[in-house]
Amino acid sequence: MSNTMSETTMQAGDTARWSAVQRRDAGHDGQFVFAVRTTGVYCRPSCPSRRPNRANVEFFRDPAAAEVAGYRACLRCEPKANATRAERAVTAARARLDADPGQSISLAELAREAGMSPDHLQRLFRQHTGVSPKQYAAALRADRLKRSLRSGATVSRASYDAGYGASSRVYESAARGLGMTPAAYRRGGRGVRIRFASAATPFGWVQVAATDKGVCSVMLGDDAKTLARALEQEFPNAERDEKESRGEGDADLHAWLASVVGYLEGVLPGPNVPLDVRGTALQEQVWNELRRIPYGETRSYTEVAQAVGAPRAVRAVASACARNPVALVIPCHRVVGRDGDVRGYRWGRERKERLLKHEHAVAVRLVGEFGS
């Protein structure tokens, strides 16, 4: 799912939009822009550049949406020339922050450059990106820290390069941004112990994995071995300890697995487990909102974006759903297109359809038994 056109008309409209691009129809300029995945550039429909392969093209309602998705403006057709003042302000603020993630830039300074009040810029920035300028800058620093640590830099060097003014600051933010201390992240998670167990359910196999702090992963699949390999890929250097699904010696893990299985069997209304998951500020906002969706109901990506105060960040909401590390516990399967189409699902579209039908049937049954 992306912050492209209205979900109800996306597929049908894309055919007409692609036709306009092929014709270089200037009459459609300002109505949408198209982006090319292989180049990372977006253009107006009338751009005179060579036409790309259709398979590499996606469409966005405006330049701001394309840039939220990570594309940059074409220097030849200048698709931002007719952008609104709000779009230009957000684009300029993002470019300023992107230019030097380690630099401390205040909201007041960004607002002064945009020629508007700090409150106004903050509101526009959140509407377009889903986060505040401060949260956006923090995510940039965290990304730079991760890259430096993965490249083999020392913790102190990586912290300095990422723009953390003091070692205490990087350790304060590490738990949220890395999920572990910077030193442990540099070792690829080595030293972190993860216990896991799997069980067969009416929806295939489910695997629950946990650290000492709580459940860090819930996966769905067709067999236990495939799920174990997926966990190894996700936590390559952690100590992984597989438990028998009904063995002894790990009561917490067995109880959490039983809670998930009970949910899938329609015995329990939802998994009730402690979590040890971390994401960006927007991801955590989205995940919290997903947990508020009532059992047996669904919400559209647009409704979730509106609920977290970022109505223009539909693509970012979809990305947060796709990066949900704990299936079912954070019910990303309850998010659908505005037209009711189930869209994509990490664990398979068919499984998502079955989960939604299952929840609806159980909800109807409970209402019949106990009343509303």
Q: Which two tokens stand for residue 246?
A: 């009904």
CA–CA gap between residue 193 and residue 173 (Å, rounded): 21
CA–CA gap between residue 53 and residue 298 (Å, rounded): 35
Catalytic residues: 43, 332
Assess contact for 317 and 304: CB atoms under 8 A. Answer: yes
CA–CA gap between residue 202 and residue 219 (Å, rounded): 14
305 to each of 5, 15, 165, 295, how far by Cα in Å?
14, 26, 33, 19
Q: What is the CA radius of gyration of the chain?
A: 23
Assess contact for 269 and 295: CB atoms under 8 A. Answer: yes
Q: Which two tokens stand for residue 253?
A: 């893990």
CB-side neighbour CA atoms (13 Å) of 127: 11
- SS percent in the chain: helix, strand, coil, step 5: 50, 15, 40
